[in-house]
Amino acid sequence: MKKMNKSIVILLSFLITACSSGRYDMRHDSAPLRKPTLLEQLDAQVIQVDKSTAASRAYRVRGKHYYPMISEKNYQASGVASWYGRKFHGHLTSNGETYDMFKMTAAHKTLPLPSFVEVTNLDNGKTAIVKVNDRGPFHDNRLIDLSYSAAYKLGIYQSGTGNVKIKALLSSNAKIPATYIQVLAASNIVNIQSVASSLSKKYQLKNKISQVNGIYRLHLGPIKDQSRAQDVLNSLKQNSHKQAFLLYSHDKL
C-alpha cells in the first residue's frame, strides 16, 4: 500500500511539473540576440497557395469566438501591430508551419491561412509584405502580430507596437475557394443518405456524399454567402449536428 501511495505521489508530481511548464520554454517573450540580416528582411513573395482546412474552422480563445474569412480579397484594415519573438520561435503556427522569427510572417485572428498582406507603418511610412500563417494577437486592441524581422523592417520592434494599415494581396492567378459544410461522418451509408435528403430540402442546398477508407462524409454546398454559411452551420449545431464545421475548397467536392 505504501509503495502504491508513493507511486501516486510521484505521478502527480510529474503531471503538475509538466502542466506548469506549459507549451513554451520561456515565460516571457523577448527579442533575439542579433538583428535580422537584409536578406531576412526581404518582402515575402505573394504566391498562390492552398488554404489550411483546419485553420479555416471557427475557434474560441479566452471565451471569445472567431470566424475565419473565406477569402482575403479586398481586405483592408487599420489598427495596432505588435510582434512576437524568441518565446514562440521553433513552435508550430496555426497552419502547421514552424514559426521562425527571422522570416517575414505574421499572425491575424481571421484572415485565411496562409495569406499575404502589405503592412504600412503609419508613423514613418515604411512598408513590408508578410505571409500570414498564424492566429493572434488575442488582445482586443491589436490587429496583427508581426515576426521580429517584419517588426524590425517596419521600425516598431523597439516600441513593441505601432499604428499600421494592412492590405491583403492576391497572386495574379488566385482563386476564391468555395464554402461547404461537413455535416457528419459515419460508416452507415443508409443513415447518411437519409440525413442528406432531409437537410438538402430543409436548407435548399446541394449535398455530396464522399467515401474514404470506409467512412462516408456528408457535405452541403457550395454556399456563396459567408453569412448564410455561418447561419446554416449554427442551425445544424443546434439540431443534433454539433460536429459540423465549415470547409473551404478550390475544387468542386
Give 28 or 176, the one with higher predicted confidence.
176
Last residue of a domain, which of 169, 201, 217?
A: 169
Chain centroid to CA 163: how far? 23
Global pTM? 0.65
Model confidence at 25: pLDDT above 90: no
Confidence at 177, pLDDT banded by 50, 70, 90: confident
**Is residue 90 domain-resident?**
yes
Cell match 467512412: residue?
Answer: 215
CATH code (residue 219): 3.30.70.1070
Say if residue 127 is in the same domain as residue 204.
no
Of 169, 193, 224, which residue constitutes the final position of a domain?
A: 169
Question: Which ranges constitute the DSSP H helices of 24-174?
Answer: 148-154
Q: How many domains does the chain have?
A: 2
- Same structural domain for residues 45 and 164? yes
Q: Is residue 196 part of a domain?
A: yes
Q: Is the dihedral of CA 188, 189, 190, 192 positive or negative?
A: positive
**Domain with 191 in it:** 178-249
Q: What is the pLDDT of residue 13?
A: 39
Domain boundary among 169, 197, 228: 169
Q: Is residue 145 part of a domain?
A: yes
Side-by-side strand order, sheet with 207-212: 207-212, 215-223, 178-186, 245-249
Residue whose grid cell is 488575442: 138
Q: Using pLDDT thresholds of 50, 70 and 90, give the confidence band for residue 178.
A: confident
In the structure, how many helices (H) and strands (E) does the chain have? 4, 12
Backbone angles phi, psi at 198, to 5 degrees: -65, -45
Domain-embedded: residue 24? no
